[in-house]
Amino acid sequence: MRRAPELAFAAVLAVAASSAAADLAFVTCQNGDALSVIDLDTGEETARWSVPGKPAGVTAAPDGTVYTVAPESKTVRRHGPEGTVLADAVLDGGPMGVALDAARSHLFVSDWYNARLWVLDANTLDVLSELSTGAAPAGLALSPDGRLLAAAERDADRVSLYDAETLTLARSLPVGTRPFGLGFAPDGRLFVGNVGSNDVTVIDPGAGELLATLPVGDRPYGVAFAAGRAFVSNQYAGTVSVIALDTLAPLAELTVGEYPEGIAATSDGQIAVANWFDNTLSLIDAKTLEVVADLDTADGPRAFGAFIGATD
């Protein structure tokens, strides 16, 4: 249920009062050809950038820059903190997911149509290399220690892991049906949302072991972590599944907006999830498991990637 604006605003202020950093959500909005910048301390949309080409993929860098991927125009952009385009590149396939390796100045972009990953220079967006994958690579994620890059290969029903230093394939592992989004837990385990089998595969990436398969809601899209829990956005169910990281037991299924997709953790213990059909960003308190606010965005928020950035 949509919360009244004044209640949402008050809830955000109450949660944000204990936060030392001001988190910003950089929400790519596909239908609106835009990116909504939302101050999570105030609940306000502070800027709306024009991003032509139906943007979906996004990642926020530690230095305040933001990368977007617009599949319709096949364009990857590097934006300054105020939205200025600092560099762009038009790629020849189907750019989709994106992940940043800031330490090595590499930007990874998945090519949905041609079973590959581009390795771009994170500053200039020049193509440095290409990595072969299984069919229809989508979500990308870098491990917490920066050693591994994971790619969800939707039409291959598997995940591939690459050595981020050498850019070589470490291993490929079967998962559920049609993996799309994925993320590394703080302890290094990899959680993969399988949209075709309505479950999450848990992997020990170092050992190459499948640890568990966990049922969730209908069409799991993305995963994020906070307060010792995993949070999985379920597109068709309009919910977020909550899983205990220590036991892998299901804890709750929370109702959010319609067609939730991109999901990420804030610095102060909240989970933000973009609701594509509602044009909102829901904020969940990761400890109490309450939806504390629904914040307005531009049309069609996708936010596929690490879309939360922090500023002093």
The yes-or-no verdict on residue 162 having pLDDT over 90 is yes
Rg value, the chain, Cα: 18
pLDDT in tens, 124-145: 999 999 999 999 999 999 999 9
SS3 62: coil
Tokens (6 digits) for 43: 């609940």
Question: What is the C-alpha separation between 151 and 141, in angstroms, rounded?
Answer: 7
pLDDT band at 21 (very low <50, low <70, confident <90, very high): low
Burial class (CB in 10 A: 0-12, 13-18, 19+), 38: buried
pLDDT band at 19 (very low <50, low <70, confident <90, very high): very low
pLDDT in tens, 269-309: 999 999 999 999 999 999 999 999 999 999 999 999 999 99
Confidence (pTM): 0.93
Give pLDDT, residue 292: 97
Give pLDDT, residue 1: 37
CA dihedral 239, 204, 131, 70 (to 10 degrees): 20
Give pLDDT, residue 12: 41
Q: What is the CATH number of the domain that holds 137?
A: 2.130.10.10
From residue 71, alpha-carbon distances to 36, 98, 111, 256, 277 in Å are: 18, 12, 10, 26, 19
Share of the chain above pLDDT 70, in %: 93
User: Which residue range is the domain that position 133 belongs to?
Assistant: 5-311
SS3 312: coil
Share of the chain above pLDDT 90, in %: 92
pLDDT in tens, 228-254: 999 999 999 999 999 999 999 999 999
- What mean pLDDT is predicted for residues 94-100? 98
Q: What is the 3-state secondary structure (H, E, C) of 63-81?
A: CCCEEEEECCCCEEEEECC
37-41 LR contacts (CB < 8 Å, sep 24+): 37/83, 38/281, 38/295, 38/297, 40/12, 40/16, 40/266, 40/270, 40/272, 40/283, 40/308, 41/12, 41/13, 41/16
pLDDT band at 16 (very low <50, low <70, confident <90, very high): very low
Give pLDDT, residue 23: 95
| Mean per-residue pLDDT over the chain, rounded | 93
Of 15-19, 64-68, 227-231, 261-265, which range is least confident?
A: 15-19
Tokens (6 digits) for 155: 């039409």
Nearest CA to 53 out of 103, 104, 95, 11 is that of: 95
Give pLDDT, residue 311: 64
Q: Count the domains in the chain.
A: 1
The yes-or-no verdict on residue 7 having pLDDT over 50 is no
pLDDT band at 4 (very low <50, low <70, confident <90, very high): very low
DSSP secondary structure letter of residue 178 = S
DSSP secondary structure letter of residue 20 = S
pLDDT band at 22 (very low <50, low <70, confident <90, very high): confident
pLDDT band at 310 (very low <50, low <70, confident <90, very high): confident
CB atoms within 10 A of CB 172: 17
User: 15 φ, ψ to 5°?
Assistant: -70, -40
From residue 9, alpha-carbon distances to 4, 60, 186 in Å are: 9, 24, 30
Give pLDDT, residue 17: 41
pLDDT in tens, 110-122: 999 999 999 999 9
Tokens (6 digits) for 266: 């804030």
